[in-house]
Structures are given as C-alpha cells and as structure tokens.
Amino acid sequence: MLLSKFKGSALAALAGDCIGARYESMWRPVAYQTLLNLEENLKSAEKTSRRSLHYTDDTEMAHELAKSLVENGKFVAKDVASKFTETFFESPPYRYYGPHVRNVFEKLEKASRFSDLFGPASEQFDGQGSYGNGSAMRVFPVALFCHGNQELLEKLAALSAKLTHAHIDAINGAKLQASAVEIALSSSDGSISWLEFWQKLKDLIDKLEVDVPEKVYTNKLDMIKELIAREEVASVHEFEDEVGTGIKASEAVCAAIYAFLMCLADRQPSELSSLSKVQQVVFYSISLGGDTDTIGTMAGAIAGAFYGDEGLPSYWLYAFEGAEMARDLATKLHELNEKK
C-alpha cells in the first residue's frame, strides 16, 4: 500500500503540472467542462502511445531533487544545486521557469562555482529572498524520502527551499506542503476527516509562524476552514479574494490544500463525479485558476499520497511526458524508505 501511495503522489503531481500548464497563462478559473474535454482527449493517448502533454519547471525540479536523494541516499545540497542548475540551462523554453530564478542559477554556477550554495538565493529581491511558490512546487520527494521522520522532513524541506528561495513564506510553504504529503502518506481514506487533517496542518503552522509577525499561513488556513465548513461552496472569485491562487507560495500552497480538503470533505463539484478521487482533486484544484500547474501539482502530490495510484487512469502513464521517470523515482524512494 505504501508503494502505491508513493507512486500515486509522483504520478498525480506530474498530472497536475502537465494538465495545469495548459491553463497557467490564463490567470482565470478553468471551466469543469474544459477539463473534462481534455480528459477525453488524453484517453486517446493510450491508443496512439503519443505523449501529449509536457511537464514544466515544477516536475523538472522535483525529479532532479528526487534523483539526488536516490543517488546519494541523503540530502546533499551541492548536488541538488548543481542538478537544478544544469537542467535549468539545458531545459527547453516550455518548462516556463519563474521569471527571476535564473539569477540564482547564474550566480551559483558562474560566480561561486557552487561554493556559496545559499548566498545567491538570499540576495534575490534586494535581500528579501523570493516568496514564490517554486520552493513548495517541487518539494514532494522530500516527503517521500523522509516518510516517518517529521523533524528530518522539516529540515530538508527548508534546506531544499533555501537553495533558490530565502523568504520565510517560501520556506514555510515548502514545510507545509511536504507535511501535507506526509500526513496523506500516514493516513488513509476513511481514517481521517478533513477537519482532523486541517488541524494537523494548523498545529504545524502555529509552530512555524510563532515568531513570524505577518502570520500569512495562519490566516489563510483559518479562512480555508471557514470556507469548507460553510454551507454554500465559495465561488472561485471569493476564494481568489480570500486566499488567492497566485505565484506566492502562501497562495498556491493554501489553494492546493483547500482543493484536497474540499474533496476529502466530499464537497467536490458534482460535474467531476465520474472521475476517480485523485482526478477530482487535480481537476478541482486547476479549476480555481491562477497558477494552475503549480496548484495542480501540489494538490496532486497530496491526493496521490492519500489515495494511492490504484484509481488512476491507465492512460495517465501515456499522456504525460516523464511518467515512467515519476514512477521509477517513486519506486526508488520507496525502496530507500524500506531500508531505513
């Protein structure tokens, strides 16, 4: 069962990125029917064995992080930094990296030759560091690698984030997203309510934001609870106003968590009811609009870790670039976890 959860997480993360990337530049809600039509097109990929959808920066970086953990059996910051940097400079334009992260890679490679691993990220945005969602979008392999060890998970989520994102909101976003995947790995459908899941995340954020004056995650998590408990489902526009779906880690991570918890609470839209639970989470998260590939990939990583890969459509393995790699890395991370 645990292997199924590892594979489910990696595969649904990939699906969320590949599907979400189709709508990323639109910055508006995505109609359910549009997503259902795309799903119909993906089914034909199995017959033609055509890879129809590309992954983006989210998956590229997650896979590099996973490869490094698998090869080294531990987190080696220099190796992760050089893998991120090498793939960035070789990657095709349709990976759509965040607009400013190039500066970090240029400095890591050219200026310091990987001698100063965390300096370039801390110089971003006049020394504030990036609060973009790039730290959290790629973090799920840390959760798989650290499964069963929350202390290590928080440490590695922070270290992996700090290579490119030094802002506290990006670091806490990576810890929160990785922890959501870990809670999903450690529980099963029917064993936890949405409110219990939410409470675990809230307890973590209370601890992480104890000395943070702005408490962005505390406020957004409180709002998420209010929205899910409410009788009437919030419109996407209200969600956008209250929580957000943008490029900030605090918005995208909370949007992914909201989509997962809404489906766990059985409040998913009826239009998606023909789909498996993992698909419902991925599609619902993308329907919120905004940074759709990143919200989709993070919601997928949580949902796949919770429900496993059994209910996933077989054509997902054919429809997305990188599907074999996702499955292979998940299997290797699971083997490493078994040995511990």
Residue nearer to ligand 8NA on the CB measure, 203 or 214: 214
Q: Which two tokens stand for residue 174?
A: 């990576």
Amino acid at 208: L
Q: Applying CB under 6 A, which part among 91-99, 175-183, 270-278, 312-320 lies near ligand 8NA?
A: 91-99
Does residue 28 belong to the site contacting ligand 8NA (CB under 6 A)? no
């949007």: which residue's tokens?
255
Among 22, 23, 58, 285, binds Mg ion (CB under 5 A): 58
Using the rule CB under 6 A, is 56 a contact of ligand 8NA? Answer: yes
Of residues 240-279, those binding Mg ion (CB under 5 A): 245
- The alpha-helical segments, DSSP class H, found in the chain are 2-20, 32-48, 57-72, 77-90, 101-106, 119-127, 134-137, 140-145, 150-162, 168-186, 194-208, 216-229, 236-242, 249-264, 277-287, 292-307, 316-319, 323-339
Query: How far from the centroid of its chain's Cα atoms is residue 225's Cα?
Result: 20
Residue of 39, 293, 309, 321 interacting with Mg ion (CB under 5 A): 293
Q: What is the separation of C-alpha 253 from the centre of its chain, rounded to a whole number of angstroms?
A: 8
Is residue 135 close enough to count as binding Mg ion by CB under 5 A? no
Question: Using an 8 Å Cβ cutoff, are 173 and 250 in contact?
Answer: yes
Q: Which is nearer to ligand 8NA, 174 or 228 (CB)?
A: 174
Q: Which of 213, 302, 208, 304 is nearest to 253 (CA)?
A: 302
* Pairwise CA distance, residues 2 & 246, whole Å: 32
137 binds ligand 8NA (CB under 6 A): yes
Q: What token pair was written down for 51?
A: 């890879």
List, in sequence order, every residue forming a beta bridge with 320; answer none if it has no partner: 53
Give the largest CA-CA distance in the chain. 55
CB of 19 to ligand 8NA, least distance (A): 13
Closest to ligand 8NA by CB, 118 or 125: 125
Which span (49-57, 117-125, 145-153, 166-174) binds Mg ion, by CB under 5 A?
A: 49-57
Q: Does 164 contact Mg ion by CB under 5 A?
A: no
245 binds, among ligand 8NA, Mg ion, none (CB under 5 to 8 A by kind): Mg ion
The span of 151-159, 218-226, 232-240, 287-295 binding ligand 8NA (CB under 6 A) equals 287-295
By beta-carbon proximity to ligand 8NA, the closer residue of 101 and 272 is: 101
Residues with Cβ within 8 Å of 91's Cβ and at least 6 positions away in sequence, in order, are 57, 60, 97
Q: Is residue 322 within the footprint of ligand 8NA (CB under 6 A)?
A: no
Which amino acid is located at 204 in the chain? L
Stretch that binds ligand 8NA, among 56-64, 210-218, 257-265, 324-332 (CB under 6 A): 56-64
What would the two tokens of residue 181 be? Answer: 């995947």
Report if residue 290 touches ligand 8NA, rule: CB under 6 A: no
As a residue count, the chain comes to 340
Please tell me the count of residues contacting Mg ion according to CB under 5 A: 8
CB atoms within 10 A of CB 316: 23
By the rule CB under 6 A, 63 interacts with ligand 8NA: no
Identify the bridge partners of residue 53 per DSSP, sorted by sequence position.
Answer: 320
Is residue 101 close enough to count as binding ligand 8NA by CB under 6 A? yes
One residue of 8, 98, 173, 308 binding ligand 8NA per CB under 6 A:
98
Q: Least distance in Å: CB of 92 to Mg ion?
A: 13
Q: Which residues bind ligand 8NA (CB under 6 A)?
A: 24-25, 56-58, 96-101, 125, 128, 130-134, 137, 167, 247, 291, 293-294
